[in-house]
Amino acid sequence: MFEDYVAARKDLETIEEGLLFVEREELDFIFEDRSLTEKVAVVSYDSKFVYLWSRDGFEKTPHSLKIRDADQMAWSAGLRIRDIKKFLPRRVMSFSTPSGGLLMPFLELQRNLGRPLNPYVTRESYLATLVHEFAHIYYNQYPRERKEEELKLLNTALELYQGKETDLSRVDLRSYFLPEAAEVFAFCTEYVTASFFWPNHRENLNKESVKTITNLIDGKLGCFIEDYPHDYAAVVGKIILAKYPQDWPRRILRGEV
């Protein structure tokens, strides 16, 4: 459908606007250490060009790749198309590279998914998606100290592999792990940002989450909550936001939930 698409001015301006939202002071309590997102190169594309945004400005480079609809319909915290790397400048090779489709293809393809109550069919949701991916990058870059609980886990596993007698009661796996913590952090960031700037998107997230959770409870989806990271994040993230409304970023980043 969009194999021959060429970016409109609105497509590029919307990405630039999304990057400005990431820098808003209202999000300073989430992105507390702004140095963690300095080395980021945001990448998008159409049938003719690769578009790049970084601290050094905006660049447009011709490419010879085939861009599929699947490449335009979503965003990721890394390069969705591996071969795009050869069209990027050398100076950003060590950068984090969130990438994804342009606004107009993204919205149209999302609308065509046949996904009931899909919240990602508005311009607001596209902006929120960009913030979501920056949250992934921030989480991945956040420095983590080796905690006492982790050392217990490592030493217990080592003793077991070495065939030694070990006290398994000293390790509480349930309290140690927050499955899909990166996705939970990204969901919470998107949800809180929507609460600040895009209340319609937040309401759409609420509606879809209510339907998804109801279906999970009723067994209509034939799966468990942990089978789908985004659904897990919507469930656990909402609880964390309610339980720790002021310091949820620190708690998730430091594993203190």
Same domain, 64 and 160: no
What pLDDT sits at residue 175?
55
Same domain, 59 and 132: yes
- The structure tokens listed for 184 are 């939970």
Q: Which residues pair with residue 57 across a beta bridge?
A: 54
Yes or no: say if 205 and 191 are a contact pair by the CB < 8 Å rule.
Answer: yes
CA dist 140 and 58 (Å) reads: 24
Q: Which residues pair with residue 100 across a beta bridge?
A: 75
**Mean of pLDDT values over 42-48:** 98
In a domain, residue 47? The reply is yes
Same domain, 17 and 128: yes
Q: Is the pLDDT of residue 88 over 90?
A: yes
Same domain, 71 and 170: no
pLDDT digits (tens, 9 = 90+) for 189-246: 999 999 999 999 999 999 999 988 888 778 766 666 667 889 889 989 999 999 999 9
Q: How far apart are the first and last CA of the chain?
A: 44
- CA angle at 53 for the pair 49 and 59, rounded to the nearest 5°: 45
pLDDT-derived band at 185 (thresholds 50, 70, 90) equals very high
In a domain, residue 242? The reply is no
C-alpha closest to that of 122 among 51, 199, 193: 199
What pLDDT sits at residue 148?
73
Same domain, 169 and 103: no
Where among 154, 177, 200 does a domain terminate?
177
- The structure tokens listed for 17 are 């606007």
Same domain, 124 and 60: yes
CA dist 193 and 131 (Å) reads: 8
Q: Which domain holds residue 155?
A: 145-177
What pLDDT sits at residue 7?
98
What pLDDT sits at residue 220?
67
The pTM (predicted TM-score) of the whole model is: 0.89
In a domain, residue 1? The reply is no
Same domain, 135 and 157: no
Same domain, 162 and 55: no
pLDDT-derived band at 183 (thresholds 50, 70, 90) equals very high
Same domain, 20 and 55: yes
Same domain, 149 and 42: no
Q: Which helix or strand (DSSP H or E) is residue 99 part of?
A: strand 99-100
In a domain, residue 53? The reply is yes
Same domain, 128 and 170: no
In a domain, residue 221? The reply is no
Same domain, 22 and 137: yes
What pLDDT sits at residue 164?
87
User: Average pLDDT, whole number, for the chain?
Assistant: 91
- The structure tokens listed for 247 are 């310091």
pLDDT digits (tens, 9 = 90+) for 107-133: 999 999 999 999 999 999 999 999 999
In a domain, residue 186? The reply is no
In a domain, residue 189? The reply is no
pLDDT-derived band at 176 (thresholds 50, 70, 90) equals low
pLDDT digits (tens, 9 = 90+) for 69-87: 999 999 999 999 999 999 9
CA dist 41 and 58 (Å) reads: 10
What pLDDT sits at residue 108?
98
How many domains would you assign to the chain? Answer: 2
What pLDDT sits at residue 29?
97
In a domain, residue 219? The reply is no
